[in-house]
Amino acid sequence: RALQSRLIADDLGPLASEFSQVDPLFIERVYRNVEGAGSWCDVRQSAPLETCTDMARLALDDALIWIEERYGPALESLRWGDAHQATQDHETLGDVPVLRFFVNIRQSTSGGDNTLQRGLTSGKGPNPFQNIHAAGYRGVYDFADPDSSLFILATGQSGHFLSRNYDDMAQLWRRGEYVPMSLDEDLARAAAVGVTKINPRN
């Protein structure tokens, strides 16, 4: 992130802030000097000719300073998941003081913008690595044996924050695990505590 910022700041000026998501292909092209892309490493406004190695060193310094300001100097205690948290905010109560601590679900996630466990980071603000966009529902369907299908929700089955099912799937979702899905009605009702019938008025 710091490296991309260093590479584009002098060429794009104020427009550089619009490129908040890291583009690994751009960085690769620059460092492999594909079609002269290595010229992005030189700061046009300075007299000396900066190399891509110079930019990497400066970017590392930038990143270490930012990390220390944000998380403190103990680098060995840093965890990926502390910065990369999935943010599942309650649409209605998510901004209400005090209540937001009970209704908003936060959990550490692996992966990032360019991994299999994809989760798009915000790229902006004080928490640029927060996971703000990911699969809220994942399903694996076995058409040969539908009763072997699997699914998972990012939070839980209930939208009511006082329900025990409000976030009961969150940890499974975070770990990439699933729960079985069955189309067999008898099997689905096997553990039911009762049946609710909704009848229209006469």
What is the spatial distance between Cα 190 and Cα 50, in angstroms, rounded to a whole number?
Answer: 69
- What is this structure's pTM? 0.72
**Band (64; pLDDT cuts 50, 70, 90):** very high
Mean per-residue pLDDT over the chain, rounded: 89
Q: Distance of alpha carbon 102 from its chain centroid, rounded?
A: 21
**Band (139; pLDDT cuts 50, 70, 90):** very high
CA dihedral 30, 56, 132, 82 (to 10 degrees): 150
What is the spatial distance between Cα 3 and Cα 54, in angstroms, rounded to a whole number?
Answer: 11
Compute the 3-state secondary structure of the chain and give helix, strand, coil in percent, each to the nearest 5.
40, 10, 50
Phi/psi at 37 (5° precision): -65, -15
- Per-residue pLDDT averaged across 161-182, rounded? 90
Q: pLDDT at position 17, please?
A: 87
Is residue 118 scored above 80 in pLDDT?
Answer: no
Residues 181, 150 contacting (CB under 8 angstroms) = yes
Report residue 37 as tokens. Answer: 């892309």
- Per-residue pLDDT averaged across 79-91, rounded? 88
Q: pLDDT at position 176, please?
A: 86
Is residue 115 scored above 90 in pLDDT?
Answer: no
Q: How many CB atoms lie within 10 A of CB 70?
A: 13
